[in-house]
Amino acid sequence: MYTIGVSTSSFFPQSLEDAFRLAKEAGAEGMEIMVTNAPETQDPRVLDFLSRRFDLPIVSIHAPVLLLTHGVFGYDPAHKLERSAELAVMLGADTVVVHPPFRWQVLYSRRFEKVVHEVADTHGVTIAVENMFGWAASSINIEAYAPSWNPGRLDLPSLTLDFSHAAMQGISALRLAREWGERLAHVHLCDGTSPKENFHLFDEHLLPGKGTQPVGETLELLAQSGFRGHVIAEVSTAKAQSDEQRVQMVKSSLDFARYYMAVGRERLKAGVAR
């Protein structure tokens, strides 16, 4: 059975403890930990304490692969993935989310697929590689990731689907889900719009249903196909004026997922294909 949870990044810039508290209030079933420069996100003792205190299992770890976390867990990207997998094992999380290498990480990009397989096999965790996007500036689109922004093109066993990233790339997440098939192991639940339709430079991570991605249809498809991974709300609540608003924004995202996943299960029972 799948888990419907939330990423700690959804509550940025709140503290880690507040993220757990608010996630519990929103009705999350589990947590994804975004490893950042904040030491508590890297400390298994703190994370385990908060998980037990709020009765929220940690189901996934997001490796520190953003530019702002360049030095977290060291500077070798392969070692950073290894450390993330070790943290996942210590916390009982079965999934580690990682991005494809940046294009300037030439040596790492050449051995990226091999590294993913080796870390997954060594630690017995799912390494789910996330779809990314090119960086757009005016009419120029810069391919920022290698070997590809689309991990489905690579020899990788497990993939993470992010709706907002698909929107930034100008592609349907439903199309990616169909192309990836059973390799789709993890979902970042959110929404977004294409910069070509609504010009913006940054990844939006809108609430599901507030953008142009076929989020509901994709969740239905996953449930109908017997998806057994994690659906993790990774939405921006930065504009919320209070904790109550943050909780409501995340709760609405989780409710959205539960509704469409339930529709997919009913279609599965009825033998009705989407």
Q: How many domains does the chain have?
A: 1
CB 230 within 8 A of CB 254: no
At residue 274, the pLDDT reads: 60
At residue 265, the pLDDT reads: 87
CATH code at position 18: 3.20.20.150
Range of the domain at 89: 3-270
Is the N-terminal amide bond of 157 cis, ω within 30° of 0? no
At residue 137, the pLDDT reads: 47
What percent of the residues of the chain are helix, what percent strand, and what percent coil, each to the nearest 5? 45, 15, 40
Q: Please report, for the chain, how many H helices and E strands are present, in that order.
A: 8, 10
Low-confidence ranges of the chain (pLDDT < 70): 135-141, 201, 272-274
CB 143 within 8 A of CB 134: yes
- Integer distance in angstroms from the first to the last C-alpha of the chain? 20
At residue 37, the pLDDT reads: 96
pTM over 0.85, yes/no:
yes
At residue 73, the pLDDT reads: 97
* H/E stretch holding 231: strand 230-233
Dihedral-angle region of residue 242 (phi above 0 means left; psi in -120 to 50 means alpha; beta otherwise): beta
The tens digit of pLDDT for each residue in 97-153 reads 999 999 999 999 999 999 999 999 999 999 999 999 986 544 556 788 999 999 999
Number of neighbours of residue 74 by Cβ within 10 angstroms: 13
CB 154 within 8 A of CB 179: no
At residue 222, the pLDDT reads: 97
